[in-house]
Structure formats: structure tokens, C-alpha cells
Amino acid sequence: MVRTVLAINGSTRASSSNGHYLHAIERLVGDRAAFVRSPSISDLPHFSPDLDHEDPPASVVHFRQLVLASDVVLICTPEYAMGVVGSLKNALDWLVSSSTLSGKPVMLVTASLNGEKGHAALLETLTVIEALLRPETNVLIPFAKTKVTSDGVITDDPALQAIQNALDVLLAGR
Ligand SMILES: Cc1cc2nc3c(=O)[nH]c(=O)nc-3n(C[C@H](O)[C@H](O)[C@H](O)COP(=O)(O)O)c2cc1C
């Protein structure tokens, strides 16, 4: 049973369109699960194996605890320079040694101008760190800014349907 969804925004921009999508998704989840927003990934220090010991930085401890306590992790992110946003890759690097994402269902929404390459690269990273991925819960939304309003309404039918379907699959725990 899915009780808690942890939402991570791959964009650190104040009026991020990925933030608008998260807002929309929070509403679509409704009372089916608690929707917890991760602190900005910009709070995490640059990953270094030298810092990744038994006493890691407090922001890392908190981030790992939030992931562990969630039943589903939702990542909503743009693509930068045909790849994964650096801050998001940094956040995921902090989860590698602790295996925090291992076996955890992850829904990936890439909401970007194009997004194809970043989406594919992120799926590779998530696969290697053993996140539980399903084709129905990976959603790529090109021209994303034009398909969501700043108050969190998805105005594009195919995008809305893909997200609704992903949530139905995830929240049913099928
Ligand atoms: C440094 C930078 C590089 C970008 N590179 C890409 C790219 O390669 N592909 C793409 O689809 N969008 C790219 N974009 C555009 C973003 O997709 C777009 O700005 C998106 O709205 C950012 O998400 P946000 O609104 O949540 O911050 C880039 C934007 C920035 C700032």
C-alpha cells in the first residue's frame, strides 16, 4: 500500500514549471497518499566519497531519511544540455552507497523543452541504483512549459492522461 509519495524537483528555479507539474500531481494524488516535498536538492553539498562516511552532512542524512520513509519517489525534472540536471545527478549520487533507492518505486516525469536524452540517461542511472521502474510510470513531456499553468493545472490532454495513468498504476501498488 502506498502511504507516502516523496516529490523531488530536478529544477532549483523559483518559478519552475516542474514545480507547477508537482503542484498538479499533488492535486491528482489527492487523499490517496500523503504528498511530501523534498527540500531543494540545492541544499545538498557536492557529492564526494570523502564526505560519504558514517557521519555524512546533515542535509544528506535528512534526504536519505525522507527517501527511506516514502513508499514512492516522484522525480519531476527538466533536461539540461541534453543530459541530466547536475544538481539532480548529485542528489542521486548521495543515494548510491546507502542503497536508499534500491527496490523503491520511482515515477519519473521529465518536463522539458525536449527532454528525450536527459530522460533516457536518468532512467539508466535509476536502473543501475536498482530503483523499481515501470514503463507506465515514466512520463516524458516535451514543450512542457506550454502544457501547465502556474497554479498547477495540466492543460494538455495526452500529458494529463499519461500522468493520471502513472499515478493509478503506482498508487494501486499493482
Ligand atoms: C542551462 C540550461 C540548459 C538547457 N538545456 C535544455 C536541453 O538540453 N533540453 C531541453 O529540453 N531543455 C533545455 N533547457 C530548457 C529547459 O527545459 C526549460 O528551461 C525548462 O522549463 C526548465 O524547467 P523548469 O521550468 O522547471 O526550471 C535548458 C535550460 C537551461 C537553463
Q: Sign of the C-alpha dihedral, residues 167, 77, 158, 37?
A: positive
If you ran DSSP here, which 8-state letter would residue 43 be given? G
| Cα distance between residue 103 and residue 135, in whole Å | 16
3-state secondary structure of 79: strand
In which domain, by residue range, is 134 found? Answer: 4-172
If you ran DSSP here, which 8-state letter would residue 85 be given? -
Q: How is residue 115 written as a grid cell?
A: 527532454
118 CA from centroid of ligand 1 (Å): 10
The residue whose C-alpha atom lies closest to atom 29 belonging to ligand 1 is 80
Residues of the chain scoring pLDDT < 70: 173-174
Global pTM value: 0.97
173 CA from centroid of ligand 1 (Å): 32
- Which CATH number fits the domain that encloses residue 88? 3.40.50.360
| Residue-level pLDDT at 174 | 54
Q: Which of 25, 75, 113, 114 to mutate to test the pocket of ligand 1 (most atoms within 8 A of CB)?
A: 113
If you ran DSSP here, which 8-state letter would residue 148 be given? B
Total domains, the chain: 1
| Residue-level pLDDT at 173 | 64
